[in-house]
Copies of this chain bind each other. A is one copy, B any other.
């Protein structure tokens, strides 16, 4: 039973991974319905407000002419028990006469579905491929547990540790293969954060590669952190608002007039007490419902966020170039000694992308 459970859960997890960065504040759950060792329906939660994975999988059964009565449902997160934007999935599974429910992990934002399911004779098992599900739904779980999004720091640096020349001159450190990988990767995040200095100097678009190719899917929320709500009206960030939303998080003392100007450009604005405080910015993003947030720098932002110890993961691209000086990854004082440094472990083996090394690290 266990090997078969693992196999079907892998399929549900694959479905879930397709929804990363699409369903916030919800987790992007995946579900497969299996009867007599055969998949008879599958579904995933695709957008917030839309039907949940279980309901879509049951609808898929019907569309294929399959009866879910007596079938097993595999879900990457325990089925919801409470009325939200959608009715509770536990009810839908019971109504479809599912006889067995297998969940990878429990949902800390919901009640335990065990009484409801077992009360009507449905078998319930939780804990199949839990580690993998903890990874995929890690952003959602982290936000529910801590009130902050799962934060991932990302930078590209030279082999001598610089992100740009001293003059601030912007240019690609990474190979084009690494750039493509890094842009595709943005899709898996709910929001992408940069500082005002990087917005000004690099004038980036911060679009996910997929979002740009398929205009219909909006890219992740793009966030500029600027104490004074700085943002050039002629920037590429503003010009690309039709492709992905733009949010400016600013500190106290910004006038309503300035906020109105930004809104007229198409951006949204959010005030926090002090935009230099990573914790306040992170909490504001969690309050918006962001589960997985990618922080792309520059050095002022990375310095503050690294020192605050807020990153759960790092994605580092190392271009095989040396500058012999320049702008470091993190500006500011840093830890007083290596003894106070933050430790990391490799989440995946280092990968060479056409001459650029990619490291994916998670907290030790």
Q: Which residues of A contact B (CB under 8 A)?
A: 155, 157-162, 164-167, 169, 171-173, 302-304, 306-307, 311, 314, 316, 318, 320-326, 328-346, 349-350, 352, 355, 357, 359, 361, 364
Contact = CB atoms under 8 A, between A and B. Distances in A.
Contact of A323 (B173, B325, B338): B338
A303 to B, nearest CB: 5
A361 B320 CA distance: 8
B162 A334 contact: yes
Nearest to A308: B324
Instruction: Please indicate which of the listed interface residues A155, A320, A340, A345 has the most CB atoms of chain B within 10 Å of its own CB.
Output: A320
A332 B322 CA distance: 13
Contacts of A164: 338
Contacts of A302: 160, 324
Contact of A171 (B323, B332, B338, B359): B338
A323 B334 contact: yes
B344 A160 contact: no
Contacts of A322: 306, 311, 314, 330, 341-342, 344
Nearest to A304: B324
Q: How many copies, total?
A: 2
A325 B352 contact: no
A332 B359 CA distance: 27
A331 to B, nearest CB: 7
A339 B161 contact: no
Nearest to A158: B341
Contacts of A323: 306, 330, 334-335, 338, 341
Given A307-B324, A325-B303, A361-B320, A336 B167 contact: yes
Given A162-B330, A165-B336, A171-B338, 14 more contacts: A159-B314, A165-B335, A165-B338, A165-B340, A169-B338, A171-B337, A303-B324, A306-B323, A306-B324, A320-B343, A323-B338, A323-B341, A325-B331, A350-B350
Nearest to A328: B328
Nearest to A357: B350
A165 B357 contact: no
A134 to B, nearest CB: 21
A161 B328 contact: yes
Nearest to A309: B324
CB-based closest 6 A-B pairs: A161-B161, A325-B334, A306-B324, A171-B338, A307-B324, A169-B337
